Every structure is written in structure tokens, then in C-alpha cells.
Chains A and B, each alone.
Chain A
Amino acid sequence: MSTPAVELVALTKSFGDVTAVDGVDLTIRDGEFFSMLGPSGSGKTTVLRMIAGFEQPTSGTVRLAGQDVTGRPPFARDVNTVFQDYALFPHMDVLANVEYGLRVKKVPRAERRERAMAALESVQLAGYAGRRPTQLSGGQRQRVALARALVNRPRVLLLDEPLGALDLKLRRAMQLELKDIQRDVGITFVFVTHDQEEALTMSDRIAVFRDGRIEQVAAPADLYESPASPFVAGFVGTSNLLEGEAARSLVGRAGTFSIRPEKIHLGDEVHDGDATAPGVVHDVVYLGSVNHYLVRLDAGPTLTVLRQNLRGTTDEAMALRGQRVTVGWAPEHVIELGADQQLQKEES
């Protein structure tokens, strides 16, 4: 196996009394699209900034391609960053922005012009070379920032919530485009986001952050289908948690379990062999292509059940409100969760 692109060993960062990153160990493989996912304040951006060199770790090691770069300034690291606010130089035109990295590395003029134009073409902005950043839309600025970073052919590209400022439609388009670009150039991407859908769409693997620690590292499907903790189950997708007495009566043993909303069947859709439970439809939430049914089980918990609007009318769906129903699920879709790391700490 080739040398990992990024290795973090026991990485810790404190700001005063606050520990932002608490002993993170992480290995990012060469050429993969890796996402760091977590709520704000979970330490993911601080980890990214330590990889870039903008922050120095309080303790621990950062290795890039096997080399210890801890303590090296940003300009002595073979990584480039796409910033959340894009950080385009306002006094330069688009071409000068993209050329900047090559210019400070003394690449001859003809070569840097050619490479910068190629980079602009790869993000479909070849016609905008003479514009100022202020004359561009948010999405275009984002592409310029990407071109400016990629033109240097870094070993690792760091992206700090680069799609956060874009509207939903543009964000979805850029997600697919980013993934395509990553596949084309073969550079390792490390992508920070708080949007679980974004992470699931693009990533080869995802690390879920919480309170400065990594809760789980896994491929998107594994993360969704076998989350390691209630936190991961709740943060990645919607989760129906069964614990305590409810777990015992519905699953048949003690523990913490999760069932995804789309795996629960409602009324006449319950299959033979499903585990079933009676309850009352507490509310119906209309979401266009799907509806969410909130079913309060007689056994206690309220489950969110997702059903596609394939048949029947919206009125029929709404009429279920207040009705008694039976819900069911295949036993293999019940995910057993490890106890929350946080809970373990508190209990011990």
C-alpha cells in the first residue's frame, strides 16, 4: 500500500482552557476524497488548519506523504486550501489570482500563463481571465478559488466548507463537479463540511467529529448503515433510537438500537416476518416526493416513518393523522449501536 497522504498522530489543539481538538488519530489515503463531518465547534476546521499549517498543534504530529511537517509554515507544505470565503485577492484579476502560486514559486511567465489558463478551462471560466473577483458570482468565485489551488498541483487539497455560501441548487451541481474534478486530477481532497448529505454524496470515506474527537471513520454506506454510536446515527441521516425499556419490548433485548425511517413499513405495507408494533399517527409531514409519518408507539417511543408518495393522494396521506396503525420492520434493519462515547465517559 502506498504512503498515506496525511497522517495525524495524537493531534491536540487548545485555545486557552478550551480543547478544540483532543487527541485525533487519522490516516487519509493517497488519492481519496475524504470528508470531515461534524457540527460547528466539533474541531474539524481546526484539524484542517493544522494540516495546512495555519495553526500549530499543542501536541501531536502532522505527516504529509510520510514526512513530519509539524512546525513548518504553510508555504513550506505541499498542500493548498480552498477557503470558506474564497479569499481571492481583490486587487488582482482572475488570471493573476490563479497565477499567484506559480508566480511566487518563480515559474517562467509562459509556462505559468499556460497552466493558469488550463486550470481556468478545467473549471469552465476561461472567458473570465480579465475580470476582477468582485465582478463574479459566488459560484464563479468558488471555481476561481479551486483553480487557484489546483494549478499548483498540490499533493493534498484542503477544502474548508467551500460550498457553504452557495444556494442549494448550485451546491448540488458543484458537489458533483468537485467529485468529477477530484477523479480527473487524482489529488487527495480533504473536505470539511457540516452537511451530512454533502459528505455522503462526494466522499470515499468520512470522519465524523464531535467535541474535538473522531466518533467514527467509514465509507458513506457503512456510516449510514452501521453507525458506531447514537450520535453518528443521529447526525448522519434521521435515526429512530430505541433504548431502555422500549428496546427490550420492541427488539427483545437490552441495548441501544436504531432503525432508519425508510426501513419502517406502515399499515398494509408491513411484510410477513416483520417485527410489528401498534401505535397512533401523531403527525404527517408533507415533503413533496416523500412524507414523514410520526408514529407514537404504544410501547413509548415516537418513530419517524418515511414513505414515498408513489400511490394515493396527499389528502389520503393527511387523513392518516390520528389513526391507529401497525408499523413493521425487517429484523435485519435494526442496527445495534455501541454506547455513546460521551455517555461511557460520564458513567465511568
Chain B
Amino acid sequence: MLWLGVLYLGSLAALFITSLWSVDAFGGNIERIWNLDNYRDLFTIEVYRTITVRTLLIAALVTVIDALLAFPIALYMAKVASPRLQRILVIAVLTPLWASYLVKAYAWRGMFASGGPLDSVGISPGYGLAATVLTLSYLWLPYMILPMYAGLERLPSSLIEASADLGAGTGTTMRRVVLPVLFPAAVAGSIFTFSLTLGDYIAVKIVGGANQMLGNVVYDSFLTGNNLPFAAAVATIPVAAMLVYLAAVRRTGALDSL
């Protein structure tokens, strides 16, 4: 537990400390001089603000789409399917996780390509933000389905029966019993989908056209710009966003039952 804390929090602390240094403009060496220049740039230069807002919006959108897609799938798996079909479906949901991330992203690139399968039926959005959102939603969908499935699995059928018994129709039972009980599971899933999207920079490169997300800025600052301190400052944004998100989630009490 201690080691976990040291390793995990230690690297985060290192990240934060690095972000407070700067880079020698000529030699490209890191100068260990404390300053907030990196953060000043981040907040004052328009393009970084745009990218930050865009990344947060994409992460939120991916989370909402995944929640909407995962709920009926998880409900069917947990409450409708026979035990045999249930096992098959769990495997089917898990299988894509074994395939390489890159392969799946390139597969979607093929889907969106002009002359590709989606384009031939006239519904391809082309490379861009829409394609990025769709691809990321696909990639992280299992991380939303599995906690929801586990949550529904634990939901006793007698609760649903009791609701019907007390006069509630199917819609009311969903709204008043199933969804509230499922809320913590959905939150658990959303932590995955939200944070994985915040940190992603590959999918947007493959299907996002010229668009950038925060991950790309980190990547480019570090490898192309050779500016590790600035990359560290950019990387602090998703960490901060995640901390804010977790704090908000905590207030709803959803984490208590995890």
C-alpha cells in the first residue's frame, strides 16, 4: 500500500514539479528555475484554451454516448438473456479488449474513409471530431458495459417485481428503481470513459483529421518541441479535471458503494 502510494503519487508529484521548470531557449536543456511561465502560457494562449475545452467536451460526450449505449446492452445481458447467452455476451464484450488499440482505431479509419463502408451508404462523417467521438466511444464502451452489467446483476429481480407489484409500469420502474440503483455503477464506468478519453491522443490522430486534443499537445511539446516542462504543465490539466470530476462524483455518494 505504501509502495503503491509512493510510486503513484511520487510520479504525479514529479510531473507537477517538472511543470514548474523551464527550458533553455538555445541549448534545449531543462533549467531548474521555479516559475509559472508554463501555466501562464497555457491560460493566456488562445489555442490551448480551445483544445482544453474541446478535450473536455469530447470526454463528456463519449461518456454520455457510452452510458446510453451500455445501459440497454447491460440490461439485456443481466436480466433478459439466458445464463448461456449471458456468458457468451460477456465474452463478446471482453473480446475487443484483447485486440490492439491501434488495430481498432485503424479499422474505424477504414470505416470513415471516403469510399469506405460508411461513405458508400452516405453516413460517414469523414475524418474529424465526430469520427473521433465515435471511435473513442467504441473503444471505451466495454469499460461502461461491464460495471453496469455487474451492477444490474447485483440488482435483485424482486426489486423490479416489487415495483410492478406496487403499481408502477415498466417506464416508472426504470426511472425510479433501476436507474437510481444503477447510478453508482454508471459512475464507475464514467470514470473510465472520461479519464481514458482525456488522456487519448492516438485516436484523434488516426480519425480526427487536423484536430488536436490535450494528449497531442503533450506529445508534441515533449517529442517535437523538446519541452518537457510545458508537456508536464499540459498533462496537469487532465489530472486536475479528473480530480474535480471525482470530487463532484463523491458528493453524490456514488463512490461509497464501490
Contacts and interface: CB of A to CB of B under 8 A. Distances in A.
14 contacts: A53-B165, A54-B161, A74-B165, A75-B167, A75-B168, A80-B165, A81-B161, A81-B165, A83-B158, A89-B162, A89-B177, A91-B181, A104-B163, A104-B176
Nearest to A103: B176
Q: How large is the interface on B (under 10, 10 to 19, 20 to 34, 35 or more residues)?
A: 10 to 19
B181 A73 contact: no
Contacts of B83: none
B164 A100 contact: no
A75 B161 contact: no
B167 A89 contact: no
A235 B156 CA distance: 32
A170 interface: no
Contacts, number: 61
A101 B167 CA distance: 6
Nearest to B166: A101
B225 interface: no
A152 interface: yes
Prevailing SS type, chain B contact patch: helix
Interface of B: 156, 158-159, 161-169, 172, 176-177, 180-181, 183
A238 to B, nearest CB: 34
Given A83-B158, A85-B156, A52 B165 contact: yes
A54 B159 CA distance: 12
Contacts of B156: 85, 87
Interface of A: 52-54, 73-75, 79-81, 83-85, 87, 89-91, 100-101, 104-105, 148-149, 152
Contacts of A90: 181
Given A85-B156, A104-B176, A152 B161 contact: no
Contacts of B158: 83-85, 87
B161 to A, nearest CB: 5
B167 A87 contact: no
Given A83-B158, A87-B158, A152 B181 contact: no
B167 A152 contact: yes
Contacts of A52: 161, 165
A101 B172 CA distance: 11
